[in-house]
A and B are shown apart, each in its own frame.
Chain A
Amino acid sequence: MSPRPRLDHVRRPELLAAAASVIRRRGLEHARVADIAGEAGTSAPSVLYYFASKAELLTEALTSAEERFYEDLALELDQIESARDRMLRIVATCAGEGDYDAALWMELWARALRDPELEVTRAELDGRWRRTIAEVVRYGQERGEFGPADPAEFAVLLASLLDGLSVQIALRDKEVTPDRVRELALKLAERELGCELLEGARL
Chain B
Amino acid sequence: MTGAAASERGARERILAAAVERIARDGIDGVRIARIAMAAGVSTSLVHYHFETREALLEQALEYSYELAGDVRLGAGEGDALESVQRLAAMIDQFLPYPGLLERDWILWVELWLRAVRHPEMRSTAARLYARMRDWFAEAIATGVARGELDAKNADPERIADRLLALADGYGVRVLFGDLDIEHARREIWAALAHDLGLPANPPPPLDQANPRD
A residues near B (Cβ < 8 Å) are: 26-29, 102-103, 106-107, 109-114, 119, 122-123, 126, 153, 156-157, 159-165, 167-168, 170-176, 180, 184, 188, 191
14 other A-B residue contacts (CB within 8 Å) besides A156-B171, A167-B166 = A27-B29, A28-B29, A109-B173, A113-B107, A123-B179, A160-B169, A160-B171, A161-B167, A163-B166, A170-B117, A171-B126, A175-B134, A175-B158, A191-B195
A-B contact pairs, 6 of them (CB 8 A): A29-B30, A106-B113, A107-B114, A123-B179, A156-B174, A172-B123
Kindly state whether residue B176 has any CB partner on chain A within 8 Å: yes
The answer to whether A164 and B167 touch (CB under 8 A), given A153-B188, A156-B180, A176-B162, is yes
Q: In the bound complex, how far is the Cα of B113 from the Cα of A27, in angstroms?
A: 12
- Closest residue of chain B to A29 (Cβ to Cβ) is B29
Kindly state whether residue B118 has any CB partner on chain A within 8 Å: yes
Taken residue by residue from 152 to 186, chain B's Cβ proximity to chain A (1 for < 8 Å, 0 otherwise) reads as 00000011001101111111011011011000000
Q: Evaluate contact between B170 and A159: CB separation under 8 angstroms.
A: yes
Interface SS, B side: helix
How distant is B155 from chain A, measured CB to nearest CB, in Å? 9
Q: Evaluate contact between B195 and A163: CB separation under 8 angstroms.
A: no
How distant is B114 from chain A, measured CB to nearest CB, in Å? 4
Residue from the list A160, A170, A175, A191 in contact with B113, Cβ < 8 A = A170
Q: Evaluate contact between B127 and A171: CB separation under 8 angstroms.
A: yes
Kindly state whether residue B75 has any CB partner on chain A within 8 Å: no
Q: Evaluate contact between B195 and A161: CB separation under 8 angstroms.
A: no
Interfacial chain A residues near B158, Cβ < 8 Å:
175
Interface size class of B (residues with CB under 8 A): 35 or more
Within 8 A of A (CB), among B180-205: 180, 188, 192, 195
Residue from the list A113, A161, A188 in contact with B110, Cβ < 8 A = A113
Q: Evaluate contact between A171 and B111: CB separation under 8 angstroms.
A: no
Residue from the list B26, B114, B130, B159 in contact with A106, Cβ < 8 A = B114
Interfacial chain B residues near A119, Cβ < 8 Å:
177
Q: In the bound complex, how far is the Cα of B169 from the Cα of A41, in angstroms?
A: 39
Interfacial chain A residues near B110, Cβ < 8 Å:
106, 109-110, 113
Interfacial chain B residues near A172, Cβ < 8 Å:
120, 123, 127
Q: Evaluate contact between A168 and B166: CB separation under 8 angstroms.
A: yes
How distant is B23 from chain A, measured CB to nearest CB, in Å? 11
How distant is B192 from chain A, measured CB to nearest CB, in Å? 7
Within 8 A of A (CB), among B28-75: 29-30
